[in-house]
Each structure stands twice: as structure tokens, then as C-alpha cells.
A and B are shown apart, each in its own frame.
Chain A
């Protein structure tokens, strides 16, 4: 099909003329620039370029698009969050290895780990994969609540996961402000400061479409402690305690937001920290 060429440019006209294989002249010229023509085609084109000034001009014009692409994009590699990605891979690979005899369990763990990271379609995908692999196990179980998912995710977090997060109060403060906005809460480092555990990072996740904040602390004695807030619209509920996946959990609900403090720290310690947080945040 011939497109109507703009009169001001012969080259445009050429470009719109496909060859026998439906390739435009521009495409051939670019393939030539990229060294992608076989020797026969190249010879043919070079012969034409030798006595077709307009074609040669078009080639020159197209070659102005040469850039140092690879070099320019190299800088982005340095911006990759390598530590987080490695920790994530360890988690995913570890979860896979953890249940070699029961494949469904491994997948469920992966699904749980990912449920926190990703939302919507992707969770749907992972869940559907899990269902496919282990129909009975997944189909009969009720969907896990948010505390269960957080607890399973925390299994993948070690002190190292948090230790490698670089100290950057400015970044942390920005992250908290952004997350606080989503949850309509004032989340400043001051309000979140706790005795004897160190505020390390703040992340925003989504759980079934609800924003879920996870604020990571590191305790020298007890490893990671996570303070999570979900805007789930549930009625108020007082402070309670439970254990899931080997972690201690103190949780409560206030003003349509669920809160939980989870970690390996002893119950009394967590309860004291939770009281502190409840007084300042929720």
C-alpha cells in the first residue's frame, strides 16, 4: 500500500515504498547501518548508493541517529537496587528450596512472599499458578489474611536484609512522608522512633488493593521487627497478641487502619514497643 508522500521530501516517498519483502527503504538503510544485511544485499545496496544521491543523502540523514546507546544506559545499571534484588532472589529461591518434597508448599510460600511485593494481576497470576500446582491445598484454604501474609513474608527477612539497607535519613523521611500520604497518617521518623531498635526502611505494598505500609526496624538482639499498617476499613479492635510462622505479633485496629508489630522479639518487648507506636501513630 502506498502512503501519500509529503511533497517536500523525496526521501519520505522512498521510505514509504516497501520492497518485495514489505520492508521500507529506511528499514533497509538502517539494517545496512547496523550491519544486518547479508553480503548480497549489502553489495546491491552499495551499488545503488554509489549512483543515487538521494538515497545516499537519506542514509546520511538516518546515520545521524547514531548514539552511544550502550554507554548511556550503563549508568542505569549502577542505579539498580542490587541488594534488594539479591535479597529478593534469595527469598524466592529459598522458598522454592524449602519445600522440595511438597511443591505446593514452596509455591505457596513464594506466592505469599510476592503478595506483599506485587498487586493486582501479578498476584492473581502467582496465585493461579499455585492453584494449578496444588489444587487441593490452595483451593480449600481460605485466603490468608494480611497478618498471615506479612508473617510469611517476614520469614524471608533476616537481619542482613535490613543491615544492608544504607542509612539515609533524608530518603527514609521522604519515603515515610509519601507512604503516610497514602494512609492519611503523619509518619515522620520522629513519631516512629523507638528505643533500642533502629528504623531502617519504609516500603509501600498493596494487599488486595489496600495500601499496606511496612516499616522495618532492626533490633540488635532480636533481628528484624516490622511495623505494618493497612488501610482496611475494619472496625476498631483493642491490642491483641498471636503467633504466626514462628513470629510474635501484636496487633490492633483503629480508625479504619489495621496495625501490627511483628518479629522474633519476646512478647513483652513487642507489646511495649507497640504501646509506644500506638501512642504516637495509631
Chain B
């Protein structure tokens, strides 16, 4: 397709598309916006492909581009257009889950994560889903490591609490779940 048969950025983009889309969906809670984010990420990555340092993780570089587009452009637009930010939980459940096999446990986890405030949600996603180290997540989000830590701590406290509130229904995910709650 593209001129350079072995443009590493194009190759990397092609591989990363589903994960970029998922990241966009987690951020925006909206399938269409997720697609817009991926498209804009492709355009910018190709424009700036010369800035990519060979030997570093291309997917991380792409993630950081998507993150900054969301933060600086699309997110603001959504707010400005008065759509507000869709209730991410509802949107993800509605937009994402109807397309995947119903797995009660997975659905429960997605709901819990999407119900977190955006900064916590994104950090949880990068560290626990994408498997980034704290340092990598901090670099991508351009925040100090301490911020990553406090976001995760707040998110986990909330998840632990939600878990207790949700009672036995949500118990399958964690073996230690008891009746005590908090």
C-alpha cells in the first residue's frame, strides 16, 4: 500500500490497531470516538514517523500519541460540544459488550474499571491491562511516578470497596472475598 514497503511505523500501526482502538474505547467510552482517535493517531504517527526512535517500543510511542490527542483535542471537543463525556460505564457496556461473548466475570470487571474516574481508569488500564511498569505509565502519561501510584491506590481502594458492596455476586474474581466487607 504505502510507498516504503517496510516502513516500521506503518507495520507497527497495522499490528497495534485493535489495541489502540481498545485504548480509545477505554478513554472515551464511545466506539466512534475510539475510531476517530485511532485515525488521528495514524495520521500523526505517519507525519512524525521520523521522530520514532528505532529500537524503542513502537506501541508505547503510538499509545502516547493517542493519549495526547485525546487529552488535548477530542476530549475537549466532546465537552465543548455539550455532549459531556458519556457515562463511560454505560457506553462501554452498551458499545463494547454487546459485541463480545457474555462473560459475567469479565463484564463485571469492565464495569468496575469504567466506573472509575478517568485518570484512575486510564492508569489502571495501562498498568494492569497493558502490563506497563509504573515508570512506563508515568512516562506515557507525563506525570510523576508518585501520581501513578496514588491513582492506582485510589482505584484499588475503590475496587476493594465496590467489591464488598456488590456482595457475593462479584466474589468470583478474587478468592479472598469474604462476608466481612469493610
A165 near B: Cβ within 8 Å? no
Using Cβ atoms and an 8 Å threshold, which residues of chain B touch A88?
A: 35, 38-39, 42
Q: Which of A69-110 contact B (CB under 8 A)?
A: 69-82, 84-86, 88-90, 92-94, 96-97, 100, 107, 110
Interface presence of B115 (CB below 8 A): no
Q: Are B103 and A75 in contact (CB under 8 A)?
A: yes
Q: Is B14 interfacial (CB-CB < 8 Å)?
A: yes
- List the B side residues contacting A34 at CB < 8 Å: 127, 134, 152
Check B124–A24 contact: CB distance below 8 A: no
Contact of A93 among B2, B21, B80, B107 (CB under 8 A): B2
Min Cβ gap B31→A in Å is 8
Minimal beta-carbon separation of B24 from chain A (angstroms): 10
Q: Are A27 and B110 in contact (CB under 8 A)?
A: no
Among candidates B22, B43, B146, residue contacting A27 with C-beta atoms closer than 8 Å: B146
The residues of A that contact B31 with a CB separation of less than 8 Å are 81
Residues of A contacting B53 with CB < 8 Å? none
Q: Within 8 Å CB of B176, what residues of A?
A: 60, 63-64
How many angstroms between the C-alpha atoms of A92 and B31 in the bound complex? 20
Chain A residue with the shortest CB-CB distance to B156: A65
CB of B10 within 8 A of chain A?
Answer: yes
Q: Does A3 contact B (CB under 8 A)?
A: no
Interface string of A224-249 (1 = CB under 8 A from B): 00000000000000000000000000
Tell me which residues across on chain B come within 8 A of A24, comparing CB atoms: 150, 153
Kindly state whether residue B60 has any CB partner on chain A within 8 Å: no
A152 at the interface (CB under 8 A from B): no
Nearest-neighbour CB distance to chain B for A20, whole angstroms, equals 11
* Cβ contacts under 8 Å, B156 to chain A: 26, 30, 33, 62, 65
Interface size on A, residues (CB 8 A): 62
Q: Name the residue on A nearest B175 (C-beta).
A: A66
| CB proximity to A under 8 Å, residues B90-110 | 96-97, 99-101, 103, 105-110
Could you tell me which residues of chain B, from 71 to 121, have a CB within 8 Å of some CB in chain A? 73-74, 76-77, 80-81, 96-97, 99-101, 103, 105-110, 112-113
Q: Find chain A residues with CB under 8 A from B47 CB.
A: 107, 129
* Interface residue tally for chain B (C-beta within 8 Å): 73
A86 to B20, CA, bound (A): 12
Tell me if B173 and A70 are in contact (CB < 8 A).
no
Is B157 a contact of A92 with CB atoms below 8 Å?
no
A79 touches B39 (CB 8 A): no
Give Cα distance in the complex from A241 to B66, angstroms: 41
B125: min CB distance to chain A, Å: 7
Q: In whole Å, how far is B153's beta carbon from the nearest beta carbon of chain A?
A: 4
User: What residues of B have a CB within 8 angstroms of the CB of A69 in the complex?
Assistant: 109, 113, 124-125, 128-129
Q: Which of B21, B42, B43, B103 has the most CB of A within 10 A?
A: B43
- B40 interface neighbour in A27, A28, A76, A114, Cβ under 8 Å: A114
Q: Please measure, in the bound complex, the distance between the C-alpha atom of A129 and the C-alpha atom of B40, giving whole angstroms.
A: 12
- In the complex, A53→B91 CA distance in Å? 41
Chain B residues near A (Cβ < 8 Å):
1-4, 7, 10, 13-14, 17-19, 21-22, 25-26, 31, 35-36, 38-40, 42-43, 46-47, 69, 73-74, 76-77, 80-81, 96-97, 99-101, 103, 105-110, 112-113, 124-125, 127-129, 131, 133-134, 146, 149-150, 152-160, 163-164, 173-174, 176-177, 182
7 smallest CB-CB distances across A and B, nearest first, come from: A97-B3, A72-B109, A65-B159, A79-B99, A65-B156, A75-B100, A93-B2
A interface, CB within 8 angstroms of B? 9, 15, 21-24, 26-31, 33-34, 36, 60-82, 84-86, 88-90, 92-94, 96-97, 100, 107, 110, 114, 117-122, 125-126, 129
A to B CB contacts below 8 Å, 30 in the list: A22-B146, A24-B150, A24-B153, A30-B156, A31-B149, A33-B156, A69-B113, A69-B124, A75-B103, A76-B25, A77-B19, A77-B22, A85-B17, A85-B18, A86-B14, A88-B39, A94-B1, A96-B46, A97-B2, A97-B3, A97-B4, A114-B43, A117-B35, A118-B40, A120-B77, A121-B74, A121-B80, A122-B77, A126-B40, A129-B47
Apart from A22-B146, A117-B35, list 10 A-B contacts with CB within 8 A. Answer: A23-B149, A24-B150, A34-B134, A36-B149, A65-B157, A72-B103, A73-B129, A85-B17, A93-B42, A114-B40
